[in-house]
Amino acid sequence: MAYFDAASSAPLHPVARQALLASLDEGWADPSRLYREGRRARMLLDAAREAAAEAVGCRPDELVFTSSGTRAVHAGVAGALAGRRRSGRHLIVSAVEHSSVLHSADAFEADGGSVTRVPVARSGAVSVESYGNALRDDTALACLQSANHEVGTMQPVAEVAEVCRTAGVPLLVDAAQSLGWGPVEGDWSLLTASAHKWGGPSGVGLLVVRKGVRFAVQGPVDERESGRAAGFENLPAIVAAAASLRAVRAEADREAVRLRELTERIRARVPELVPDVEVVGDPERRLPGIVTFSCLYVDGETLLHELDREGFSVSSGSSCTSSTLTPSHVLKAMGVLSEGNVRVSLPPGTAEADVERFLSVLPGAVAGVREKLGAPTPVTEVRATELLVDALGKRCPIPVIELAKVIGDVPVGGTVRVLSDDEAARLDIPAWCEMRGQEYVGEEPAEKGMAYLVRRLA
């Protein structure tokens, strides 16, 4: 089985396993106690904090360990906003942040705060100017991920941090995806990360708050982790997390070159092997190991099952893989195709042979899914130079398949009106037009659902 979903959770690094087992024997006592076992536990905790701080590029007393990366984000955002409540109640986030950041923003907004969600380009990147324009006199905090978890696009953190610093606004960086590859550049103020993203054990997160940043812990406080992460420390997992971070950093430069070559191979060959595919994300400024593409006329969940049967574990941002039937907020913000979406994220050590086998299996898997979905026949009504496609009650990617089948039945300049009550159509039909060189005219309310108007250009 080839595991290609490291962006969700990386396999446990051998060094993490060794450190975890060793610290189970040595690090079980309370590190706040003064007897021998407590002192030994304290030494392990201090050493882990120093190792993690060195990897991050901060002071050890600026870093605390939390129970998860999500908990680190929630605590970091809430604490920074509370610490600067006299400055104002305005928060800035990008539209493609991890859900933990967006959920924090939603909670802040529900409590009376205001939130600006900065849009991204089709590559998934924000512009420095957009963050500068979003800053206000009452801005308390800005958040920006170092790299996107779904498409791998790296963000201009250093430049945004400089803009925020000039305005006197702290910047919180979610570095969960990138920290294993290197420190985050720039004069950021707060940082969060999650150990299971770099091959450490789950249940360990990092929260860094630079000296001088106003921060007010929210909720009950105890004496653990400078009062910023309540509860008894999971010392064996913390030791394993720090040890694995140091280990993956030592291998990062060499492994990054190898994984970049493999992902570039996927990016180049998938469109050659599979027709009607859009490879998404920035082609240059991207993390090693992550490549994402979307296949027209494909049900994402069915494709994932087909690949799983062939021995490949991948993930998807398609709405068809979600119980809510709504597309990934990242793909939606980018304005790219969501149907048939596949994210391949290669863990360190991935064999070249596994990538080649994936490329040999993928075309047949996609063709099989398309064949299964090719049966539906659109209900059409001719209106001179316009066709009406009734796709009501049909889920992705059927509305787009039916559109593609009839676009050639109208003359150049003619239009196709697609009726759909699937939320994904709002994203996928414009994305299809972009890929196929047709004009997306817009949408309008219909008696049921929405009507999406497409004009044939080619």
Active-site residues, by number, are: 320
CB 233 within 8 A of CB 65: yes
Q: Are 314 and 307 within 8 A, CB to CB?
A: yes
Phi, psi dihedral angles at 73 (to 5 degrees): -65, -50
DSSP one-letter string for 110-170: HTT-EEEEE---TTSPPPHHHHHHH--TTEEEEEEESB-TTT-BBP-HHHHHHHHHHHT--
Length of the chain in residues, anyone? 458
Strand order in the sheet with 439-445: 379-383, 386-390, 415-420, 450-455, 439-445
Which of 39, 80, 47 minimizes the C-alpha distance to 228? 80
Closest CA to 407 of 439, 373, 375: 439
Amino acid (1-letter code) at residue 354:
D
Using CA atoms, how far apart are residues 419 and 405, in angstroms rounded to an integer?
A: 15
Which residue is listed with tokens 């990092």? 206
Please list, in sequence order, all residues whose beta carbon lies within 8 angstroms of the beta carbon of residue 61, skipping any fewer than 6 positions away.
226
CA gap 216, 80 in Å, rounded: 7
- Cα 1 to Cα 3: distance, rounded to the nearest angstrom: 6
